[in-house]
């Protein structure tokens, strides 16, 4: 194809080199050839009829060998298309044009500014297209780079603008005299003033800084505008357009000009009002809470002191008249010994015995209140040996009544030793008392795991109690058996209850009448999440 084009087309149009006749033409041809620029001529079919030295240099090929060939024969298709497209424009319009053409050579892409122009034949038709090209690669590259930089700058500017617009922080820019240059939308949201309202104003020109913070803010501004500090932070109050107070953190930084002088000041403003108010509220609530705790503690202390005084008074003052009643009743009995009949003597005896009993009740009451008044010392307790000791003491105090005791080994607990001892004394004495009529009395002390807690128990095979009255069991001076049957004051289990409660534990009892009783107790609070089951 290429060859055929070459052979057929070579003859037809006379190349300018050969056609030139006379000195003028030769001189002109020599000029053209040695011109540092690039020139060429193609015929109407796009075949090169002339190319100068510049052309040869650019494309690194000889002009002579290229004559009669087209761009498609010589160059890559992309380039050839671009060249011939421009040529076609000239042929069609018959006018000269200046176009850019890119040339791909071994040294890279070169930009050519090409002046293409028509050469007419005698008939006025475009017979040839001529071209003069200048390598503008360097300036073109610079131009493109400039364009690219401008684009980057525009993008950067856009990005900054985006951040300013979308930032939760307000952005304010001041000139070197601290007059507003820029005032972001968020600044408008926080402070209420629009940019138009404040532009050109100094913060002192309008009611912007809280009067009490003016001095500190003035110092902050002085440091910045004098260039003493490149950046600083101000925490101050500002006033909004509607006069309300906002707490703001101002992050300021100085922008210096080429001359090293302060050009503008850039401020980011964080409205921390809510945070400041919340913190103040926390402090206020804490103080309030502390005061309340103090007051409660004082009240509690006063109540305790009052209880103490009351108990003391009961101990001293309530017993004295009882002593007098009992004592004088006896004195009377002796005084009129002969003159008393049996019933009169019995009355006097009764006065004495009841007064004595009331004295005991008062003592029990005092002991019960002492359980709540005394300080606790929590220690590791060997509950097994404590129970063994108490059981031995109880057995000794009731020699007429034989009981089989079974005490589980290895029982451990945390508690106040003297209080827990009182607890065991009461439970065991109770068990002893209510097994008095059992033929084979048996008392068991043990432990089992319930709801994550060690639950201790004292079980007897005595008379038991009626479960219908179980709720009265742990209440002071409540008794479920008659005085004649099982004497007592009704404080034993109330004592147990108090000891257990002071340890944070709980107590409960189970029984079927005549089938013995079991008393359960714990000495520590129920773990969180466990549902509370009142005994």
The rounded distance, in Å, linking the Cα atoms of 459 and 446 is: 8
Please state, in angstroms and rounded to a whole number, the distance separating the CA atoms of residues 241 and 191: 6
Given a contact cutoff of 8 angstroms between Cβ atoms, the answer to whether 423 and 440 are in contact is no
> Residue 469: which region, alpha, beta or left (left: phi > 0; alpha: psi -120 to 50)?
alpha
The nearest distance, CB 349 to another protein, in angstroms, is 11
Residues 124-163 that bind another protein (CB under 8 A): none
CA distances from residue 413 to 380, 385, 425, 503 in whole angstroms, order as listed: 6, 12, 16, 11
276 near another protein (CB under 8 A)? no
Q: How far apart are the first and last CA of the chain?
A: 113
Token readout for 502 is: 């002071």
* Dist. CA 388–CA 254, nearest whole Å: 84
Interacting residue with another protein among 182, 210, 319, 501 (CB under 8 A): 319
Question: Do 381 and 414 meet the contact criterion of CB atoms below 8 Å apart?
Answer: yes
CB nearer to another protein: pick between 92 and 313: 313
The DSSP letter of residue 482 is -
Residue 300 lies near another protein (rule: CB under 8 A): no
Burial 271-285 (b: 16+ CB within 10 A, else e): bebeebeeeeeeeee
Could you tell me whether strands 442-450 and 404-407 are parallel, antiparallel, or unpaired per DSSP bridges? parallel
- Tell me, residue by residue from 354 to 393, as one string, x for binding to another protein by CB under 8 A and - for no binding: -xx-xxx--x--x---x-----------------------
Contact between 436 and another protein per CB under 8 A: no
Which of 137/315 has CB closer to another protein?
315
Task: Name the token pair of 165.
Answer: 């617009």
Stretch that binds another protein, among 61-69, 199-207, 351-359, 420-428 (CB under 8 A): 351-359
- Binding flags for another protein, 70-109, as an x/- string (CB under 8 A): ----------------------------------------
Closest distance to another protein from the beta carbon of 419 (Å): 14
Sign of CA dihedral 328, 329, 334, 335: positive
Query: Binding to another protein by residue 340, rule CB under 8 A?
Result: no
Shortest distance, position 277 Cβ to another protein, whole Å: 52
Of 88 and 309, nearer to another protein (C-beta) is 309
Of 88 and 324, which has the nearer Cβ to another protein?
324
Nearer to another protein among residue 288 and residue 304 (C-beta): 304
Specify whether the CB–CB gap between 398 and 368 falls below 8 A.
no
The tokens describing 34, both together, are 């040695």
For the CB of residue 396, give the shortest distance to another protein in the complex, in Å.
22
Nearest approach in angstroms of CB 330 to another protein is 4
User: Taking the C-alpha atoms of 312, 317, 318 and 324 in order, what is their torsion angle to the nearest 10 degrees?
Assistant: 150
Closest CA to 70 of 62, 61, 80, 60: 80
Which H or E run includes 171?
strand 170-175
Based on CB atoms, which residue is closest to another protein, 218 or 362? 362
User: Residue 316 interacts with another protein (CB under 8 A)?
Assistant: yes
322 lies in the binding site for another protein (CB under 8 A): yes
Query: Among the candidate windows 17-25, 93-101, 125-133, 307-315, which touches another protein by CB under 8 A?
Result: 307-315
Q: Shortest gap between Cβ of 334 and another protein (angstroms)?
A: 8
Distance CA 203, CA 225 (A): 14
> Under rule CB under 8 A, which residues in 455-494 are in contact with another protein?
none
- Is 315 a binding residue for another protein by CB under 8 A? The answer is yes
Shortest distance, CB of residue 291 to another protein, whole angstroms? 32
Q: Judge contact between 20 and 28, C-beta under 8 A.
A: yes
For another protein, which stretch binds (CB under 8 A), given 3-11, 238-246, 323-331, 500-508? 323-331
| Closer to another protein by Cβ: residue 236 or 352 | 352
CA distance 150 to 132: 32
To another protein, the closest distance from the beta carbon of 374 in angstroms equals 8
Q: What angle do CA 360, 365, 366 make, to 5 degrees?
A: 95
Name, in order, each residue with C-beta under 8 angstroms of 288's C-beta and a sequence gap of 6 or more.
none
Of 224 and 326, nearer to another protein (C-beta) is: 326
Which residues are CB-neighbours of 132 under 8 A, at least 6 positions away?
37, 38, 39, 114, 115
Q: Using the rule CB under 8 A, which residue among 232, 273, 352, 398 binds another protein?
A: 352
347 touches another protein (CB under 8 A): no
Residue with smaller CB distance to another protein, 135 or 363? 363
# of chain residues touching another protein (CB under 8 A): 26
Binding to another protein by residue 328, rule CB under 8 A?
yes
Cβ nearer to another protein, comparing 103 with 499: 499
By the 8 A CB rule, do 503 and 416 touch? yes
With binding defined as CB under 8 A, does residue 417 bind another protein?
Answer: no
**Among residues 196, 320, 484, 528, the one that binds another protein under rule CB under 8 A:** 320
Q: Which residues bind another protein (CB under 8 A)?
A: 311-312, 315-317, 319-324, 326-331, 352, 355-356, 358-360, 363, 366, 370
């Amino acid at each position: 194809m290429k060859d055929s084009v070459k052979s057929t087309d070579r003859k037809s149009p006379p190349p300018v080199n050969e056609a030139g006749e006379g000195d003028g033409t030769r001189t002109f041809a020599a000029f053209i050839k040695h011109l540092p620029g690039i020139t060429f001529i193609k015929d109407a079919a796009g075949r090169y009829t002339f190319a100068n030295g510049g052309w040869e240099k650019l494309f690194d090929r000889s002009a002579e060998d290229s004559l009669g060939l087209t761009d498609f024969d010589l160059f890559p298709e992309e380039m050839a298309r671009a060249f011939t497209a421009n040529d076609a424009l000239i042929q069609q319009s018959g006018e000269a044009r200046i176009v850019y053409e890119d040339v791909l050579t071994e040294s890279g892409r070169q930009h050519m500014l090409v002046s293409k122009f028509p050469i007419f034949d005698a008939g006025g038709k475009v017979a040839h297209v001529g071209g003069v090209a200048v390598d503008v690669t360097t300036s073109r590259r610079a131009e493109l780079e400039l364009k690219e930089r401008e684009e980057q700058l525009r993008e950067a500017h856009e990005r900054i603008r985006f951040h300013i617009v979308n930032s939760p922080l307000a952005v304010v820019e001041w000139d070197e005299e601290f007059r507003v240059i820029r005032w972001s939308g968020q600044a408008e949201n926080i402070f209420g003033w629009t940019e138009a309202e404040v532009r050109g104003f100094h913060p002192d020109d309008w009611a912007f800084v809280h009067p009490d913070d003016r001095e500190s803010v003035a110092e902050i501004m002085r440091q910045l505008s004098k260039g003493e500090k490149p950046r600083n932070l101000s925490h101050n109050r500002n006033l909004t357009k509607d006069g309300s107070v906002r707490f703001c953190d101002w992050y300021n930084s100085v922008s210096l000009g080429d001359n090293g002088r302060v050009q503008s000041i850039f401020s980011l403003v964080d409205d921390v009002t809510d945070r400041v108010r919340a913190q103040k509220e926390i402090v206020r609530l804490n103080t309030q809470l502390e005061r309340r705790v103090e007051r409660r503690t004082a009240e509690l202390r006063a109540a305790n002191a009052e209880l103490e005084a009351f108990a003391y008074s009961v101990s001293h003052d309530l017993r004295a008249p009882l002593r007098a009643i009992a004592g004088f009743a006896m004195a009377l009995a002796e005084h009129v010994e002969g003159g008393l009949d049996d019933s009169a003597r019995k009355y006097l005896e009764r006065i004495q015995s009841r007064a004595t009993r009331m004295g005991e009740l008062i003592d029990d009451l005092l002991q019960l209140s002492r359980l709540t008044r005394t300080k606790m010392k929590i220690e590791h307790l060997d509950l097994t040996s404590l129970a063994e000791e108490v059981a031995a003491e109880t057995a000794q105090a009731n020699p007429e009544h034989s009981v089989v005791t079974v005490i589980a080994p290895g029982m451990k607990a945390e508690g106040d030793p003297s209080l827990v001892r009182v607890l065991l004394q009461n439970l065991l004495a109770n068990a002893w008392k209510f097994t008095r009529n059992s033929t084979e009395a048996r008392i068991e002390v043990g432990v089992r795991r319930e709801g994550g807690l060690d639950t201790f128990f004292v079980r007897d095979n005595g008379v038991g109690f009626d479960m219908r009255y179980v709720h009265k069991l742990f209440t002071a001076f409540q008794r479920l058996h008659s005085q004649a049957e099982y004497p007592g004051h009704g404080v034993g289990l109330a004592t147990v209850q108090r000891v257990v409660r002071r340890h944070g534990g709980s107590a409960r009892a189970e029984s079927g009448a005549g089938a013995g009783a079991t008393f359960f107790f714990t000495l520590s609070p129920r773990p969180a999440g466990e549902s509370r089951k009142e005994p």
